[in-house]
Structure 1
């Protein structure tokens, strides 16, 4: 769960740093604003595609730790 919260915090911080609203990010990532809220709070069950799309828009990379 710590990694989910870390991803959530990173995406939220990067979005704010970029001066984007959740609505802006949802349009750019081609997902719903509700999904962006779920990603940023670490709640719900957003798809990996949606998380990756949001991260890519913000210039973040997702990596897999073994």
Structure 2
């Protein structure tokens, strides 16, 4: 399971690998630049929809897995 901070770092790394600026990614995804900066700095609290928008634009899949509780 990926911790949220690892997820945010992965998104930033993917953006950098693609050579996309934060401003350009914000424009492409429809996510506010301020929100994107907060996410990448680990200070944001994005919704699943926001994360999905960012992942989609960068060619990534965002999956949520619900595990059964151990009994």
Shorter-chain TM-score above 0.5: yes
Q: Which residue pairs with 1:36 in the alignment? A: 36
Q: Alpha-carbon deviation of 1:20? A: 0.4
For 2:59, the equivalent position in structure 1 comes to 59
Work out whether residues 29 and 57 of structure 1, in 8 Å CA contact, stay in contact via their aligned partners in 2.
yes
Displacement over 6 Å in runs of 4+? none
Q: Kindly report the root-mean-square deviation, in angstroms, between the aligned alpha carbons of the 2 structures.
A: 1.4
Partner Cα separation in structure 2 for residue 52 and residue 42 of structure 1 = 17
- What TM-score does the superposition give when structure 1 sets the normalisation length? 0.85
Greater helix fraction, Structure 1 or Structure 2: 1
Tell which has more relative contact order, 1 or 2 (C-alpha 8 A, sep 6+): 1
Aligned to 2:22: 22
> What is the Cα deviation at residue 31 of structure 1?
1.3
Structure 1 segments unaligned to the other structure (5+ residues): none
- Count of equivalent residues: 65
